[in-house]
Amino acid sequence: MADLEKEIKRRRTFAIISHPDAGKTTLTEKFLLYGGAINLAGSVKGKATARHAVSDWMEIEKERGISVTSSVLQFEYQDYCINILDTPGHQDFSEDTYRTLMAADSAVMVIDASKGVEAQTRKLFKVCVMRKIPIFTFINKLDRDANDTFELLDDIEKELGIATCPVNWPIGSGKSFRGVYDRNLKSVITYSDTEKGTKEGKSEKIDFNNLDMMKEKLGSEAYSKLCEEIELLEGAGADFSQEEVDKGNLTPVFFGSALTNFGVEMFLKYFLDMTMPPLARNSDNGIIDPFKNDFSAFVFKIQANMNKAHRDRVAFMRICSGKYEASMEVKHVQGNKVMRLSQPQQMMASDRHVVEEAYAGDIIGVFDPGIFSIGDTLCSVKDEFRFEGIPTFAPEHFARVRQVDTMKRKQFVKGITQIAQEGAIQIFQEFNTGLEEIIVGVVGVLQFEVLKYRLENEYNVDIRLENLPYEYIRWIDNKDEIDIEKLTGTSDMKKIKDLKGNPLLLFINSWSVGMTLERNEGLKLAEFGRN
């Protein structure tokens, strides 16, 4: 038991979220450098011959230079075992990020120092607030000209509704960037443009009270400005409170430059000190304690074709309690069957190794023959409970999908079904018309492009997409009490069903939703389903 407790306590599982191009993937890679997981950082946006970021493994990601799926990366640093969930920054893939946040115990929010809080950060942050998880902020790109530091903090507080507590403070930015002041150590760490792909730094640490050295290294002007800003900060800034951080009410803020590798290890050390081991989870049988309960996990992501040679499907699971051991039997609650998990693996992007054991907080990938769904619970054979479901967000864009070559119907159905099971798209059919036409719903239009690309490259199927005018979708909450055939709708309403045969309604106009509810007494509609 002592070993189990020790192993779980050293786990830290967090997601990294940001607006596109804020430097999230670069920061992730620098973490891996410190953990010794990689020897040289890659570049996401390089030419075809350049290295690609370790966490961007899908072909379309390498071509476009954006992350479209969440990557799972594990590495050791000092006495910690760290699981990083790297998420897509582009808002069109935000649903994948939402699900990933369900598997994390805390989140690191990366903000571009020259842009402040951007639209996508706002959207993703709200999910963190819903989950009440601790949020840590890394304000990146100080090696470029940045916004005023107080304005950046004000921006976070106003836009996101969370108090900020800077743990360090930047001295200038861009060409005049001199380093950061560490408020705890009361010392300045000077900036040096280190070798970008290595972890060796050339920074110096100077005691703030060493006046001569401070002026020599920073210059009199920068030193005077720093003194003024620190005085202002001590008088007006929020005090650090671990309790408020744990509740998600206060975000510790750090400044640095992931590209030049400045401030990254400093951030990592503080972060690990301020975050908690794996948290307890809610189930329909009460709270599941990571230390006291036997093995349990839930599926938060399914990914097909991670390995082109094998055309496989991997179900990613967050272990919530206890320990997984090779060949142990587990219960798949939703499937109501006892099974052995086939070749559980841990990931370094597309590189993987089979694991003999894993603990609460860890993420494992399991071969999925098509039996798992997002939100499924696995637990020990003697237990019977389900973790809270993961919300299915309402698609905002719809299109009818047509095959170019109707002889490839089998590949088409297999491909589109597998991609839908991953949660990247939602697929529907006409309700009770006998038509085999498929309607696809997505959260962001870029997902249509990914769907087309993947069907072509992974399943050898060409499709045409015909955009539909619908913008609003509603699940029928009380389908067993309502005769769907006799529903009185509006002229712009369309009845459809999902993969499980559940009835849904599509509308072009928002006011049609209210009108349909008025015309059908007792009808209950929901804005999102639940896996």
Beta strands 426-430 and 438-442 are antiparallel
Write down the residue that tokens 């209950």 correspond to: 524
Interval 5-28 mean pLDDT:
87
The percent helix, strand, coil of the chain (3-state, each to 5) is 30, 30, 40
Q: pTM of this prediction?
A: 0.78
The CATH class of the 281-380 domain is mainly beta
Q: How far is CA 481 from CA 112, 210, 428, 477, 484, in A?
A: 51, 76, 22, 9, 9
Q: 324 has which bridge partners? A: 358
Q: How far apart are CA 5 and CA 3, in angstroms?
A: 5
Residue 333's contacts (CB-CB under 8 Å, 6 or more residues apart) are: 376, 377, 378, 379, 384, 385, 386
Provide the H-helix boundaries in 104-241. 119-131, 149-160, 211-218, 220-236
Asked if pLDDT for residue 329 goes beyond 80, the answer is: yes
Torsion of CA 76, 79, 85, 86, to 10 degrees: -60
Contact between 218 and 229 (Cβ < 8 Å)? no
How high is the mean pLDDT of the chain? 82
Instruction: Classify domain 393-530 at the CATH topology level.
Output: Alpha-Beta Plaits (3.30.70)
Q: How far apart are CA 350 and CA 56, in angstroms?
A: 9
Domain layout of the chain by residue ranges: 10-69+90-274, 281-380, 393-530
Residue 227's contacts (CB-CB under 8 Å, 6 or more residues apart) are: none
Choice among 45-59, 265-279, 394-408, 500-514 with the minimum mean pLDDT: 45-59
Phi, psi torsion values for 268, nearest 5 degrees: -60, -45
Q: 365 has which bridge partners? A: 316, 345
Asked if pLDDT for residue 430 goes beyond 60, the answer is: yes
Q: How far is CA 316 from CA 103, 157, 228, 300, in A?
A: 10, 34, 50, 6
DSSP 4-43: HHHHHHTEEEEEEEESTTSSHHHHHHHHHHHTTS-SS---
Asked if pLDDT for residue 220 goes beyond 80, the answer is: yes
Look at residue 70 in the predicted model and tell me its pLDDT.
Answer: 43
Asked if pLDDT for residue 168 goes beyond 90, the answer is: yes
For residue 127, count other CB atoms closer than 10 A to its CB.
21
Share of the chain above pLDDT 90, in %: 38
Closest to 515 measured CA to CA, from 472, 479, 480: 472
Q: How far apart are CA 31 and CA 24, in angstroms?
A: 11
Distance between the two ends of the chain, CA-based, in angstroms? Answer: 34
Share of the chain above pLDDT 70, in %: 83
Q: Who has greater pLDDT, 434 or 77?
A: 77
Look at residue 529 in the predicted model and tell me its pLDDT.
Answer: 61
Query: Which CATH code is given to the segment(s) 10-69+90-274?
Result: 3.40.50.300
Per DSSP (E only), the strands in 311-447 are 313-321, 323-325, 329-332, 337-340, 345-348, 351-354, 357-359, 363-367, 377-380, 391-392, 397-403, 426-430, 438-442
Residue 50's contacts (CB-CB under 8 Å, 6 or more residues apart) are: 42, 43
Q: 359 has which bridge partners? A: 323
Interval 22-28 mean pLDDT:
82
Interval 246-268 mean pLDDT:
93
Q: Who has greater pLDDT, 502 or 421?
A: 502
